[in-house]
Chains A and B, each alone.
Chain A
Amino acid sequence: MKNSVWINLVMAILVAGLFFTVSCAKKTIVSDATTIEDQAKLEADAKAKAEAAEAMAKAKADAARIAQQNLEDQMTSERALTEAKTMAAKKRFENQDIHFEFDSSQLSSMAKMLLKEKAAWLKANPSIFVTIEGHCDERGTTEYNLALGDRRATVAKAYLVDLGVSVSRLNTISYGEEKPLDWGKTEAAYRANRRAHFVID
Chain B
Amino acid sequence: MVSIAMNKRYCIHNMMNKMIGYILYGFLGVFLCQIPPVFAKDYDYINISNPFLKKTPVAVTEFKASHGHAVEVKDGKTAQRILIEALDFTGYLKTMNPVSFLSNPADSGIQLGQINFRDWTGIGAELLITGEIIEAQGRVSFKLRLFDTFNTKLLVGKVYSGNRSQIRRMIHLFCAEISHALTGKWGVFNSKIVFVSTVDGKKEIFTCDFDGQNVKQITAHKSISLSPSWSSDGNWLAYVSYARGKPEIFIKNLKENRGAIIDYKGMNISPNWMPGQLKLAAALSFSGDQEIYLLTLKGEIIKRITNSWGIDVSPKFSPDGRKIAFTSKRTGTPQIHIKDMESGSVQRLTFKGANNTSPAWSPDGRNIAYVGIEDNRIDIFIVNIDKGLPVQLTMNAGDNEDPSWSSDGSLLAFSSTRDGGSPKLFVMNASGSDQRKLLSLKGRQTQPAWSVSMGSDN
Contact = CB atoms under 8 A, between A and B. Distances in A.
Interface of A: 103, 139-144, 146-148, 150-151, 154, 172-175, 178
A104 to B, nearest CB: 10
A196 B270 CA distance: 22
Nearest to A174: B267
A140 B285 contact: no
A103 B333 contact: yes
Contact of B267 (A140, A142, A144, A150): A150
Contact of B227 (A140, A142, A173): A142
Q: Which 8 A-B pairs have the closest CB atoms?
A: A147-B313, A144-B357, A143-B270, A141-B358, A147-B311, A147-B290, A141-B357, A150-B267
A143 B269 contact: yes
25 contacts: A103-B334, A139-B373, A139-B376, A140-B355, A140-B357, A141-B314, A141-B327, A141-B371, A142-B226, A142-B227, A142-B402, A142-B446, A142-B447, A143-B226, A144-B314, A144-B327, A146-B270, A147-B269, A147-B290, A147-B312, A148-B311, A150-B267, A150-B290, A151-B311, A173-B247
B403 to A, nearest CB: 10
Contacts of B366: none
A143 B288 contact: no
Interface string B379-395: 00000000000000000
B170 interface: no
A146 B401 contact: no
B266 interface: yes
Contacts of A143: 226-227, 269-270, 283, 313-314, 327, 357-358
A116 B323 CA distance: 44
Contacts of B376: 139
Nearest to A157: B288
B246 interface: yes
Contacts of A173: 245-247, 267
A148 B327 CA distance: 12
Nearest to A154: B288
Contacts of A140: 334, 355, 357, 373
A137 to B, nearest CB: 10
B334 A146 contact: no
Contacts of B402: 141-142
Contacts, number: 79
A144 B240 CA distance: 14
Contact of A147 (B224, B283, B373): B283
Interface of B is mostly: strand
Interface of B: 203, 224, 226-227, 240, 242, 245-247, 266-267, 269-270, 283, 285, 288, 290, 311-314, 327, 333-334, 354-355, 357-358, 371, 373, 376, 378, 401-402, 446-447
A115 B335 CA distance: 31
A103 B447 CA distance: 21
A141 B269 CA distance: 13
Contacts of B447: 142
A144 B246 contact: no
Contacts of B355: 103, 140
Contacts of B203: 178
A145 to B, nearest CB: 9
B290 to A, nearest CB: 4
**In the complex, which of the residues A103, A144, A154, A178 has the most CB atoms of chain B within 10 Å of its own CB atom?**
A144
Contacts of B401: 141-142
A140 B376 CA distance: 9
Nearest to B332: A103
A98 B327 CA distance: 26
Given A142-B446, A174-B247, 14 more contacts: A103-B333, A139-B376, A142-B402, A143-B270, A144-B311, A146-B313, A147-B270, A147-B283, A147-B290, A147-B311, A150-B266, A154-B285, A173-B247, A178-B242
A147 B284 CA distance: 9
Contacts of A141: 314, 327, 357-358, 371, 401-402
A147 B288 CA distance: 11
A178 B225 CA distance: 10
Contacts of A150: 266-267, 285, 290
A143 B314 CA distance: 6
**In the complex, which of the residues B311, B312, B378 has the most CB atoms of chain A within 10 Å of its own CB atom?**
B311
B228 to A, nearest CB: 11
A146 B247 contact: yes
A172 B358 contact: no
A120 to B, nearest CB: 24
Contacts of B227: 142-143
A150 B285 CA distance: 8
Given A144-B314, A147-B313, A150-B290, A139 B378 contact: yes
Contacts of A154: 266, 285, 288
B266 to A, nearest CB: 6
A64 to B, nearest CB: 58
Nearest to A183: B421
Contacts of B247: 146, 173-174
A103 B355 CA distance: 9
Contacts of A148: 311
Nearest to A149: B267
A37 to B, nearest CB: 96
B267 A147 contact: yes
Contacts of B358: 141, 143-144
Contacts of B245: 173
B334 A144 contact: yes
B272 to A, nearest CB: 10
B262 to A, nearest CB: 14
Contacts of A144: 311, 313-314, 327, 334, 357-358
A140 B373 CA distance: 7
Contacts of A142: 226-227, 401-402, 446-447
Contacts of B333: 103
